[in-house]
Amino acid sequence: MKKTTIIAIISFAAGLILAAFLFVYYPKNENQTAFLQETESAPLSSNLYAFPPQQPNAKLDFAAVAEKISPAVVSITSIKVEKRMTSGNLFNDSPFDDFWDRFFGTPRGQEQEYRQEVRGTGFFISSDGYILTNNHLVEKAIEIKIKSLQGEEYEAEVIGADPQTDLALIKVEGKNLPYTELGKSEELKVGEWVLAIGNPLGFANTVTAGIVSAKGRLIRGIINELPYQDFIQTDAAINRGNSGGPLVNMRGKVIGINSMIFSPSGGSIGIGFAISSKLAKNIITQLKESGRVIRGYIGVTVLAVDKDLKSSLNLKSKKGAVLNDVVEGLPADKAGLKRYDAIIAINGEPVESDSDLSFKISNSPPGKKITLTIIRDGEEKNIEVKVAEKDGEEKIEDVATSGGEIGISVKEMTPRLAKYYNYKTDTGLIISEVKRYSEAHKKGLEVGDIILEANRKKMDKIGELEKIVKRTKPGDAILLLIRRESRDRRGSTQDFIVTLRTPE
């Protein structure tokens, strides 16, 4: 019993000594906080990717940014006219057309005009009425109506447009208008907060928030793929009607122009794309000065450097671009560039990728000499190339008669165009448009088909086909020899005969 008492007394004394030690020597927590209050965290090692070091926390005042930018955002309504061929009977575009026409005398295809309204967004970039928006909103518009947040309405004119980046500059008459400034999209970081402001589905001045999901996106394999791309991907909600509106950072600067979404349903699923302000700045300057964009060109097609190309061509890295083809007679060919050459720098500035090479060359003024650093057969060398001006879009002309048209538009096929579309055939007339409900549409002609012959005469010039169409009497048929090429690796071709009757 005495032994047990002694052990208890010793334990109690030891506990008192330990408690006194902790009370005296353990540091006090000067910064006591509530349970959910944010506390300052110690910096963590840079190799802990899941928990990066805390960055300076900019004030996330969405309301202040929206209040600053919204007055400069406008709604755009473009009026467009679309021409369509109608057959004038109940069995429109059906196998019963010939039966109905022959026995009941219903008039055949007639062209009718349909007015269409296209709605979107834009924003003032100057106090004197310049508005930046998407080209696809105002292209071929016969009237452009603008309405501001303040309720003011204007008529706009197109100053210039660039289909290759989907940007357009339009203008209204006005003074002291609220406007926005373009920021530096190249300084954006993935994960930054951004706001998208626009008129989705007709709901004016809608503001949505999200983050920068990715930078430098290239969207391949879509219809009307843009040759020059530098997209910012965001999960801020973007829907139809947001096109042309600003994507804004938390400093109130426009760092992107909302352009498109990826969606199987047609509505936002958090994958939206905005054209970077870095790309837009150069385009705006040229459109304002000359109404068009002048680009440099040396006559090459390029490939991205992947692991296999890097190994096969004995390259040190996957940066740069490999020449896939060199067009005969153009600057690159004249300078001595060859297929399989890897371009790694322009004027000493490193080339990061195939798209980076395209941008650097296109931004080089025509007539200027540039120095390309290339790797050929494992050896590095410099080659000087004089930049030429890249041609604008090939002229598209309608093939028509005084009494109507056969429903197609064509371009003259050239070796350069054939290489661009990866065609084996480099002569003839390539169909660039097939109008709905036209005779050509009913007979199954498609964009990309090549007209080799018309009435058994070889076709190389648009004027040759026009003459044949004009000489053909209404209701008579034109005999066409068509070639359809597959642009896949197999490169298969199919030739077939089609007859097209001119409208009566």
Distance CA 498, CA 504 (A): 19
The answer to whether residue 311 is catalytic is no
Among residues 360, 389, 418, the one where a domain terminates is: 389
Whether residue 192 is found in the same domain as residue 149? no
What pLDDT sits at residue 90?
46
Domain assignment of residue 261, yes or no: yes
pLDDT (tens digit, 0 to 9) for every residue of the chain, 504 residues total?
555 666 666 666 666 666 665 555 554 444 433 323 333 333 433 333 333 444 445 567 899 999 999 999 999 999 988 766 555 544 444 544 454 444 444 455 555 677 889 999 999 999 999 999 999 999 989 999 999 988 999 999 999 999 889 999 999 999 999 999 999 999 999 999 999 999 998 898 899 999 999 998 877 655 456 777 889 999 999 998 999 999 999 999 999 999 988 877 777 788 999 999 999 998 999 999 888 888 898 988 888 888 888 888 888 899 999 998 898 888 999 999 999 999 999 999 999 888 889 889 988 889 999 999 999 988 999 999 999 987 644 333 344 333 346 888 888 888 777 766 678 888 899 998 888 778 888 888 988 899 999 998 999 888 889 889 888 888 888 999 999 987 554 557 888 988 888 877
Q: If we measure between CA atoms, which residue out of 286, 283, 261 comes closest to residue 273?
A: 261
The answer to whether residue 333 is catalytic is no
Q: Which of 136, 185, 354, 362 is catalytic?
A: 136
Domain assignment of residue 23, yes or no: no
Reading the block at residue 365, the tokens are: 């003024």
Domain assignment of residue 33, yes or no: no
What pLDDT sits at residue 33?
36
Beta pairing class for 272-276 and 493-501: unpaired
Q: Which of 75, 78, 243, 259 is catalytic?
A: 243
504 burial level (CB within 10 Å; 0-12, 13-18, 19+): middle
The answer to whether residue 166 is catalytic is yes
- Please say whether the beta carbons of 137 and 118 come within 8 A: yes
Whether residue 189 is found in the same domain as residue 285? yes
- State which residues form the domain around 359: 296-389
Amino acid at 370: I
Domain assignment of residue 473, yes or no: yes
Domain assignment of residue 285, yes or no: yes
**What is the biggest distance separating any 2 CA atoms in the chain, rounded to whole angstroms?**
132
Instruction: Report angle CA 367, 369, 370 to the nearest 5 degrees.
Output: 130
Whether residue 197 is found in the same domain as residue 167? no
**Three-class secondary structure of residue 259 per DSSP:** strand
**End-to-end alpha-carbon separation of the chain, Å?**
126
Residue 357 is given by DSSP the state: H
Domain assignment of residue 53, yes or no: no
CATH number at residue 111: 2.40.10.10
Whether residue 285 is found in the same domain as residue 309? no
- Please say whether the beta carbons of 274 and 132 come within 8 A: no
Domain assignment of residue 90, yes or no: yes
Q: Report CA-CA distances (Å) from 174 to 137, 153, 178, 179.
A: 22, 11, 10, 12
Whether residue 405 is found in the same domain as residue 496? yes
Among residues 357, 389, 421, the one where a domain terminates is: 389
Total domains in the fold of the chain: 4
- Please say whether the beta carbons of 154 and 144 come within 8 A: no
Among residues 131, 148, 171, the one where a domain terminates is: 171
CATH number at residue 436: 2.30.42.10
What pLDDT sits at residue 113?
73
Domain assignment of residue 384, yes or no: yes
Q: Which of 97, 101, 162, 166 is catalytic?
A: 166
